[in-house]
Structure 1
Amino acid sequence: MDTVFLMNSLWVMISAVLVILMIGGFILLETGSTRMKNAGHIAGKTILTFGISSIVFWAVGYGLIFGEGNSILGFSDFFYSGYDVEGLGLSGAVFFLFQLAFAGISLTIAFGGFAERAKLSVYLVFALLFSILVYPFIAHWIWGGGWLAEHGKQDFAGSTVVHLTGAMAALAATILLKPRIGKFNKDGSANNIEGHNQVFTALSVLLLWVGWFGFNAGSTVSVDGAFFGFVALNTNLAAAAGTVAAMLISWIVLGKADVPMMLNGALAGLVAITASCAFVDTWASVVIGLIAGILVFYSIRFFESRKIDDPIFALSVHGTAGVWGTLSTGLFATPELATVGNPGLFYGGGFEQLGVQALGVVASGAFAFIVSFIILSIMKVTMKGLRVTEEEEIIGLDISEHGSYGYPELVNKEAAAEVSMDVTSKSNPPLSSQQPSVN
């Protein structure tokens, strides 16, 4: 067997594993960014829904994206059997696993908008429908030879296909589910519902950062010329720039270097460079990351001012940064690297590529939002609501949906302490309520 074929297959298999391990990063990100009483639920539903998306991708998703069809959708290769594709240059089964991982990541991003208030049954049904009716359409349009690909849309590893798609589904969910109890006051001001573990969120960002080398560099699907090294370099520079920019802007505006904002800046830089990592020079990757870090800071504040409760900031990190990253290739793509489409505005390409990128953002974002909103609206009626009851939300989804806590010892200790305080307060009322002493 050809050595290059084997090397390509090995490289993409390693990359697929890195991308799948990003699911672990998202588990830590979501659990760390939310409250302890929902930690077990969030971790468990993430694994379960990735399992659902994997089965759906095998049955129909891959065929809808890469099967023979028209400019809208593919209509062949369902129930993928592991065959090799002529001219692909690597194992067909490995390529399938790599693409499956991307579909799972997009779904995981979407579920960020459901956090701490959606029923488990809603996750299960939406995982199935999103994996059939939302993600495959956009992936086919851009990566499967669809109509946006015919226009030369540049999206090397998924700022639009994966991140914007997931974010728009998350937006539909946050609107229909409405804010968590206690997030907003009657006057419209927001309360900061802090996540329970910043160490988890920091570790999650590191895991995602490393996994992104599989995400972006693996999308070369080839070892030829070791171009994956250049893509990885651009990826790292953008993430670093996003980290620094978000930290500085939060320090300037808030007077403190906000840790969650710094971590979101790193992710925003990674999301933004995902579209352009193979099309731009290194200096441009730094600029793209810096702008992403600043944008995510103001985007988070914007959505909160509109009373949109986004617990893990999926709309800003994956949506706003995804839009910026997609548009950035229309500005910075070089003539030498623009193997798809045309050079960007700053390299003499005019507004043509920027227009194509904007068209892709509008069409893909609108489709993902509208279809997700329709799906969830129908589910809301047929499933007697998307949201758990107020009582269930207050006690936490670990208990209400699964019957056990993710942190049983810690939560039980807190509950015991509350009971003890309650008993003490009843047996020893405050001095103002006691009978006056007689001397």
Structure 2
Amino acid sequence: MANDFFDRATISVRAGKGGNGAATFRREKFIPRGGPNGGDGGRGGHVYLVADPELNTLLHFSFERKFAAEAGGHGHKNKMYGAYGADLEVRVPPGTVVRTTIDGVTYEVDLALPGQRLLAARGGKGGLGNVHFTTSTRQAPRIAEYGEPGQDLMIELELKLIADVGLVGFPNAGKSTLLSVISAAQPKIANYPFTTLQPNLGMATVGDYDRFVVADIPGLIEGAHAGVGLGHDFLRHIERTRVIIHVVDAAGVDGRDPLDDFHQINAELRQYRPELADRPQVVALNKLDLPEAQENLERLRRDLPVERADLIPIAAATREGVDLLMRRVAERLRELPTAARPPADDTLPVLEWGLPEVDPNDFAIEREGEHWRVRGVKIERLVAMTNFDQPESVDRVQRVLDAAGISDALLKAGLQEGDTVLVGAQEMLWSDAERFT
């Protein structure tokens, strides 16, 4: 039997763009030719995924799927730097497996521990102001960089669910039917033992605010604590739940005594792990729509060692009493201290995607349709941060292309007059006279 529960979501994350550098000059009385004083732009905000122990489902991503960090501030005159963009934290439940694809390669990170953080998207660098471009021959550079774009990624989330509420009871007690009426889950339902061979999960909603995960786990039989039947598989999952709904077949349709069923299930829980039998239980006396259940009801109310508020007669097939049952379960969940959940550890190192180390000066040239494509970390970043409306910035790109050997490599590959060269999102036209324009 599969032991893993999964919930899935796909989100997009975009880190903040870096702020633009400033191309400004000193303008002071009696100093008619003040030098450049443009400040740098601020870094764009990073996007982090953070494992939050207060979460146990990816449900909130059905309402919000796009996340963007703040852009960096632009540089100003007087060498004033732009502000850093605020980082953004996107919270996910512990146990979330995170995947993304970058340059055709899929990367995976498991946020298994509360407090773990993944740097999911890196903010762009701030553009340099014109103070950085002064040379002995260029005293008044009219050039400044745009901020670097932040990373923009599609991320798949896959969660190993930990249910808040577990349904326990003998086979055919009505657990699957109950799950089907309190949630959108569609478990197979039939009148024979072990209909549920694999746990089914559903998200139950009570009122406007209470939502919790309910697991219908295979029926428990005598000897389960020792591994009989599906015992160990069942009990490992019950171990994670905070509240138990103990579903009892009050009609005894399989010829068993409902009172004996109740005590036997709790005996199995106690023998496997003593604290399980002491976990908060709400007892659902099911099949109230049958005459036999009506006949047993008074005896069960009298003899079951359960507080009256936690003893709820229901008929799952007709929904009678189900709303009352779910309200009581929600109350019991609210009574539990949140401190019982594992605390977050903010001393854990920040995780990253594990991208291979690449020499930023490396480049590659390939044919892309009728155009040429240049790939490389340094050249793509330079072009993305270049303001092509500034002639000095265009000259700078040309100098870098020549110095890096990219121009010569393009010519050797067959670049011709009038060909288009693509670098990142920028298109440049090759001219033998003016080189790139």
- What's the TM-score once normalised by structure 2's chain length? 0.24
Larger radius of gyration: 2
- What's the TM-score once normalised by structure 1's chain length? 0.24
Structure 1 or 2: more strand by fraction: 2
Higher relative contact order (CA 8 A, sep 6+): 1
